[in-house]
Amino acid sequence: MATRLDGKVVSKRILSELQQTVTDLAQQGVTPTLAVILVGSDPASQVYVRNKQRRAEEIGVRSLMFKLPEETSQETLLAKVAELNQDPDVDGILVQLPLPKQLDERVVINAIDPDKDVDGFSPVSVGRLWTNEPTVVASTPYGIMALLDAYQIDVTGKRVVIVGRSNIVGRPLAGLMVNHDATVTIAHSKTHDLKALTREADILVIAIGVPHFIGADAVKPGATVIDVGISRGADGKLQGDVDAEAVDAIAGALTPVPGGVGPMTIASLMAQTVELAKRRLHG
Ligand code: NDP
């Protein structure tokens, strides 16, 4: 049986350490502050935002919530971002995606001050990541690295295959892996003979959103398998991209869904908000 990489346990530990750091910062007059902008009423986004706020409050991070109506104009949204960029008490700014159709996500993300871009989605942050400069990186890849680290799974020199090339998971994770001396391949829907590729991976990361896509025949014996996918099955239960029952017998380590990468993502957002607050204090 594969070692279970338990994101619930690890994220709890990280959050409790962060709580202590937040207390220390407060004693020095800085309350880490995360500003969240939610445009419209997408139900999934509302749940994500609520979860982020709840975690923030639990560890003493101040969370400012700005709910804007569905029909918000680009101009109004950009004005809100500009206002938060200027606010010296705000450390991180997060615009919950997806945005309603009339808004241009790229323009809005680009408008966030790169030093407050807590999601790490702006081109400046992405550029810093790929030139291996200190930067904020997207929370899910950051969380995956933290989870591997917690289980002392060293990526140095390892063959890493990432299936999925989104800006929020696959691409930034590839950058982090390269920075940590892994040998990385990114695969996607146009990749030929995907299974032959995934079978070569010492560390296999799947982030595509296709339930149970990866079976035992796609995994090298002993490999570490990171299942990022979250889909809801007909029975209402959450499903990953990995057929966990089958892969459990062959993998060396495996993240469960739920309880693997998901909890690490929110903890990582908090970690990076706190990091930005430290920069406010120390420059
Ligand atoms: P996107 O839809 O943005 O990207 C999906 C990627 O998967 C694309 O690169 C696509 O390829 C690739 N893909 C789709 N189908 C296949 C296939 N059959 N074979 C190979 N590649 C394929 O998704 P996200 O990155 O936003 O999310 C991926 C999954 O991860 C979702 O289930 C999402 O819910 C989950 N997720 C979970 C998080 C967590 O905290 N646990 C956080 C973020 C996402 P192409 O580029 O060629 O179209």
pLDDT on residue 81:
98
Q: Which residues lie below 8 Å from residue 56, measured CB to CB, with a gap of 6+?
A: 34, 62, 63, 270, 273
pLDDT of residue 89 exceeding 90:
yes
* Span 158-174, pLDDT tens digits: 999 999 999 999 999 99
Q: Considering the chain, what is the average pLDDT of its residues?
A: 97
**What is the best residue among 42, 208, 230, 270 to mutate for testing ligand 1's pocket, by most ligand atoms within 8 Å of CB?**
208
What is d(CA 52, CA 34) in angstroms, rounded to the nearest whole number? 10
Domain boundary assignment for the chain:
30-113, 139-262
**Which of 96, 115, 158, 243 is flagged as catalytic?**
96
- CA of 164 from ligand 1 middle (Å) equals 5
CATH number of 139-262: 3.40.50.720
- CA of 112 from ligand 1 middle (Å) equals 25
Q: Is there a cis peptide before residue 256, judged by omega within 30 degrees of 0? A: no
pLDDT of residue 283 exceeding 80:
no
Q: Is the CB of 51 under 6 A from ligand 1?
A: no
Residue nearest to atom 17 of ligand 1 (CA): 189
Q: Is the CB of 209 under 6 A from ligand 1?
A: yes
52 in active site: yes
pTM of the entire predicted model? 0.97
* Span 91-119, pLDDT tens digits: 999 999 999 999 999 999 999 999 999 99
* Span 134-143, pLDDT tens digits: 999 999 999 9
* Span 195-246, pLDDT tens digits: 999 999 999 999 999 999 999 999 999 999 999 999 998 898 999 999 999 9
- CA of 21 from ligand 1 middle (Å) equals 34
Q: Is the CB of 238 under 6 A from ligand 1?
A: no
ipTM > 0.95 (yes/no) = yes
Residue nearest to atom 18 of ligand 1 (CA): 189
Q: Does domain 30-113 have CATH number 3.90.10.10?
A: no
What is d(CA 206, CA 140) in angstroms, rounded to the nearest whole number? 12
